[in-house]
Amino acid sequence: VVFVGLAGSGKGTQAKLVAKETGLAHISTGDLLRGATGELKEQVDEVINSGRLIPNDLMLHILNERIQKPDCRAGIILDGFPRNLEQAKLLDHQMQISKVVEISVSDDEVMKRMLGRVTCKECGAGYNLHTAPKPADSKKCDECGGELVRRKDDNPEAIRKRIATYHEDTEPILKHYGDKVVKVNGKRDINDIKKDILKVLKSD
Ligand code: AMP
């Protein structure tokens, strides 16, 4: 299953929740890149922080390593991949895509959300200082007490670039997937969105 949506649409949050309920493995290519170390980290950090996409061959190489792991045998939720038509075509040779969930939110809304987005440095839990889920203390994680930090690419310039990249490069993949695409309104309660996605996935 592929989850598609603007950065800040709630795609990552929903992918995590739905993976937990369905037993599918959750693969976020953004998380894979942020977890890179050594030489690879140096290579990808500058690109990520500017809001551009990293080269397709490098991205595919990293993804291929991840999908070899045993947790992927039951099926996968891809969160953040494919990001352009070439990646979508390459993916077609590797696996069968059953559904594409498009989480739809306006550019203005994602801009607002991303400027408020913080993540726990320790456990990775996500919060928003302007919208839900708000942490009780703006500096501390409700779950584990860890420090809440902003992603380096959540600054106005990089956000604008990511929105433009989404419309130019990522949106065309929706046409490629045709009637596999199911559009879900992402400007609602997190639980209602999750319920809708689960319904869509069970309808097979
Ligand atoms: P995300 O966490 O999905 O918002 O991804 C953060 C950043 O990682 C993106 O802005 C890109 O620079 C990079 N990235 C994530 N997924 C991909 C991909 N499939 N292809 C190229 N770059 C990616």
**Tens digit of each residue's pLDDT (9 = 90 or more) over 106-154:** 999 999 999 999 999 999 898 999 888 899 999 999 999 999 999 888 8
Q: What is the pTM of this model?
A: 0.89
Ligand 1: centre distance to CA 195 (Å): 26
Best residue among 4, 41, 54 to mutate for probing ligand 1, ranked by most atoms within 8 Å of CB: 54
With cut-offs at 50, 70 and 90, classify the pLDDT of residue 196: very high
Point out the catalytic residue in the list 16, 113, 162, 194. Answer: 162
With a 6 Å cutoff on the Cβ, whether 54 touches ligand 1 is yes
Strand locations in 52-197 (E): 76-79, 100-104, 117-120, 126-128, 148-149, 181-185
Decide: 133 and 190 in contact? Cβ < 8 Å: yes
For residue 204, what pLDDT is reported? 65
Answer yes or no: 11 catalytic: yes
Q: Which amino acid is at 72?
A: C
Point out the catalytic residue in the list 151, 161, 183, 187. Answer: 151
pLDDT digits (tens, 9 = 90+) for 56-68: 999 999 999 999 9
Q: How many CB atoms lie within 10 A of CB 69?
A: 10
With a 6 Å cutoff on the Cβ, whether 58 touches ligand 1 is no
pLDDT digits (tens, 9 = 90+) for 2-57: 999 999 899 999 999 999 999 999 999 999 999 999 999 998 998 998 888 999 99
Q: Is 43 helix (H, G, I), strand (E, B) or coil?
A: helix
Answer yes or no: 188 catalytic: no
Best residue among 4, 27, 28, 33 to mutate for probing ligand 1, ranked by most atoms within 8 Å of CB: 33
For residue 146, what pLDDT is reported? 97
